[in-house]
Amino acid sequence: MPTAIAALRARVAAQRTNNPAMYGTVDFSIHPERLLTDGNVAGSELRSYPKVAAGLLENRDLMERMAAYTMMGDAVADPYAALMPEYGFKRLVDMLVEACDKGLNKVEGAPPELGTFIRSMEATPAWVDMKMVEEGARLQRVTFANVAPWAIRGAFIATFMNKYAALPMALTGTLSNKTAARRIKETATFFGTSVLPGALARFGPGFKAAAMVRLMHSMVRFNVLSGSKWDQQVYGIPIPQVDQMPAGLISDFLISSKVLKEGRIDFTPEERAQIELSRYRCFLLGLPEDLLADTPRGIVDAWNARALTLRAGFDEATCGGLLRATLEADLVDTSTPQGQVRDRLERSFAKVYFMQNFCDGSEKTAARFGVKIRAIDRMRAAAVGVGLMGQMRLYGVAAKTPGVRRLADQRLVGKVREYLGSLGHAEFTTDAAKYKPAA
């Protein structure tokens, strides 16, 4: 049941008193420039869909919730990250890792904030069905094992299309090839880990990865708000809850959009399993249940409402720098001829994937964001696409064949682990000493 707006606004304002080390200087009564609530559809990220926007503007409860969560951080991870001046960032990371691996009672000298953080993740909601979550992971392994290694760069580019949402990453020094590659690999590592068997159980690697992602985001908030480069009047707070929706819920949005396009009002059992995997994964990442709709219409409306409340804005310094760093990041080992070929294929496929999924298939739109699609890119992407389609079909047939299904899934698990191994060790941390000012 959605949180009452008055209670939600009170929780937003309470961040200042509950966590003064991080939010003591934040004025939660301000209306930041990034936040659109006046019906200015043409100025929003939903400007290309005026009819959709008109319908959403009539849903005042949804729009007001999106506005409130635009000023909401992570109520349990933020206080833990705010202990950095006292404990140091490495000690905070080490204690969180130990709590995830061994349990809270094994962490010597654990601060109360760590206990609150971990216990909130352990408080699994009643709506979570772990059997369904495991089935969703099994189904998503097919796509992740085969498509993610080729598409992750293209999907990551899409997170830098708006300057209001992208600025925190620019402030953390992600404008270089090396740091951009690390962030891409961390993202791939988290989502890849989450689809492994049992990964999201209490002592599974996905549970720990979610905790580490939350700490990283909270460290970003703490360090950015502690500096002098952040303009609250323009940007509100760094990485608010609504800005975590795109990465966490993109698969839900695509599935739900397909359902609605086909004239259906509910999910098939296979679709439902994947939705529930994503919802539980987002719960572990700290997203409030208010943002985790469970129907096709609810999911699509929540996604579009976030776009409608976000002012459009692309600037060359922030967005362009992040985008170029992502395009140039080295994600493939090019020490062999085979690696060099794969690198060229992957870069081309990622650009075309970005164009098709985030630019309405328009090369002109992609070019405006700095992603230029050449003829050779289209040829390479088509070749990769044909191969991926063949693999997906083979696994689809195998999944329905008795005696082969288990072997096929074991192979997929192996492919996911192999890909994760190629990504190296994910740090999921952010060091204030390495922060660079935004351009």
What pLDDT does residue 328 have?
A: 86
What pLDDT does residue 2 have?
A: 66
What pLDDT does residue 75 have?
A: 95
**What whole-number distance in Å separates Cα of residue 252 and Cα of residue 81?**
30
The mean pLDDT of 312-326, rounded to a whole number, is 86
SS3 268: coil
What pLDDT does residue 177 have?
A: 61
Report which of 358, 123, 89 is spatially closest to residue 226, judged by C-alpha positions. 89
List pLDDT tens digits, range 89-122.
899 999 999 999 999 999 999 999 999 999 999 9
Say if CB 302 and CB 291 are below 8 A apart. yes
CA dihedral sign of residues 111, 117, 122, 123: positive
pLDDT value at 431 more than 50? no
> Identity (one letter) of the amino acid at 410?
Q
* pTM score of the predicted model: 0.90
What pLDDT does residue 425 have?
A: 60
List pLDDT tens digits, range 270-292.
999 999 999 999 999 999 999 99
Say if CB 330 and CB 182 are below 8 A apart. no
State the pLDDT confidence band at 194, using cuts at 50, 70 and 90: very high
What pLDDT does residue 39 have?
A: 87
Helices 130-157 and 337-358: crossing angle in degrees, nearest 10, is 100
Share the mean pLDDT of the chain.
90
Q: Which secondary structure element, helix H or strand E, spans residue 97, and what is its range?
A: helix 89-102
What pLDDT does residue 332 have?
A: 86
CA dihedral sign of residues 384, 248, 435, 110: negative
* Interior/surface letters 309-325, b for 16+ CB within 10 angstroms, e for the rest: bbbbbbeeebbbbbbbb
List pLDDT tens digits, range 53-91.
999 999 999 999 999 999 999 999 999 999 999 999 899
| Domain ranges across the chain | 5-34+44-423
Classify residue 166 as exposed, middle or buried by CB count within 10 Å of its CB (0-12, 13-18, 19+).
buried
**Lowest-pLDDT range of 179-188, 239-248, 357-366, 418-427:** 418-427
The mean pLDDT of 181-208, rounded to a whole number, is 91
